[in-house]
Amino acid sequence: MPREIPRPKRRRNPQKTRAAILEAAKTILAQDGQEGLSVSAVAKLAGINRGTAYQYFEQREDLVRATLDWVSSQLLKAVFPTAAEEARRTPAATRGQRLTNVISSMAEFNLQLADFAIDNPEIGRIWLFDLLSRDNPREDVFFQRFELSLQELIEGDAAEPDIDVEVISVLMLSGFFLWPVWVGAHARGKRARTQMARRFASEILRLNMHGVIHADSHALLQSYLRDKFPRN
């Protein structure tokens, strides 16, 4: 009888294993909240041994914090351009061109974030409430980048003076991640959700026009809104 040759043990990729754990934790967090999250439940959903999961996260609190930080990183990648993409943008030569670039960048960002928030409503709310309750919200990578983008806008020549960046950041992010609650109750189907994302993105631009953007660029922004966000 031929002797059975032992199979070599399959080596696990630590990065892929950690990503699988965090993806499973994100799913549970979205469905059941922090109270329903445990290392053993995550291990079962991720299809890995519970002991393996505990090697990555010994404490439930560590898993919760790592998952929320991972969600923030995913959010950052989803709606902000990479450094390489930003570097490829040609600097505008005139003030009018600079304003056009500012407005188009704001519109693109608003729509991307609105789409992401509507497609991921539970995660968006969990992320928002975690941010609002943090001792130092600026530790969150997405909030850092969001606030920095507003700061860059305000320090340019397109914004009104004396804008409170922190207040505007919290107001805008709260709107982005609470609007999907309304959408979930009133939109039926993907097309309706897409239309409501565009409605929200256009109104954020209008609020920026009257609260943040300097008055001499209002005509340019109004024209942009009419062209890119026509009302039915």
Distance CA 60, CA 38 (A): 6
Residues 56 and 84 in one domain: no
Evaluated on CA atoms 118, 123, 127, 133, the torsion sign reads: positive
Residue 194 lies in a domain: yes
Pull the structure tokens for residue 146: 């969001």
Residue 166 lies in a domain: yes
Residue 195 lies in a domain: yes
Distance CA 137, CA 156 (A): 25
Residue 32 lies in a domain: yes
Q: State the total domains in the chain.
A: 2
Domain stops at, among 42, 66, 90: 66
Longest dimension (CA), the chain: 89
Domain stops at, among 40, 66, 92: 66
Residues 92 and 177 in one domain: yes
Q: What is the pLDDT of residues 177-198, one digit of tens each?
A: 999 999 999 988 999 999 999 9
Residues 60 and 115 in one domain: no
Does residue 159 sit in helix, strand or coil? strand
Residues 107 and 31 in one domain: no
Residue 104 lies in a domain: yes
Pull the structure tokens for residue 115: 């789409």
Residues 179 and 124 in one domain: yes
Q: What is the pLDDT of residues 57-95, one digit of tens each?
A: 988 889 999 999 999 998 898 888 764 455 455 555 566
Mean pLDDT of 113-117: 91
- Helices assigned H by DSSP within the chain: 14-32, 39-46, 50-56, 60-79, 83-87, 95-119, 121-133, 141-155, 165-186, 190-211, 218-228
Residue 33 lies in a domain: yes
Residue 6 lies in a domain: no
Asked if residue 173 has pLDDT above 80, the reply is: yes
Residues 128 and 191 in one domain: yes
CATH (domain of 122): 1.10.357
Residues 151 and 57 in one domain: no
Q: What is the pLDDT of residues 37-60, one digit of tens each?
A: 889 999 999 999 989 999 999 888
Does residue 229 sit in helix, strand or coil? coil
Mean pLDDT of 105-131: 87
Residues 93 and 28 in one domain: no
Domain that holds residue 39: 14-66
Mean pLDDT of 156-168: 82
Hunting for tokens 């040609």 — which residue is that? 90
Does residue 213 sit in helix, strand or coil? strand
Hunting for tokens 């930003």 — which residue is that? 86
Residue 4 lies in a domain: no
Residues 59 and 90 in one domain: no
CATH (domain of 57): 1.10.10.60
Distance CA 153, CA 79 (A): 17
Residues 117 and 52 in one domain: no
Residues 132 and 196 in one domain: yes
Residues 105 and 170 in one domain: yes
Distance CA 55, CA 229 (A): 50
**What are residue 213's phi and psi, to 5 degrees?**
-70, 140
**pLDDT value for 232:** 60
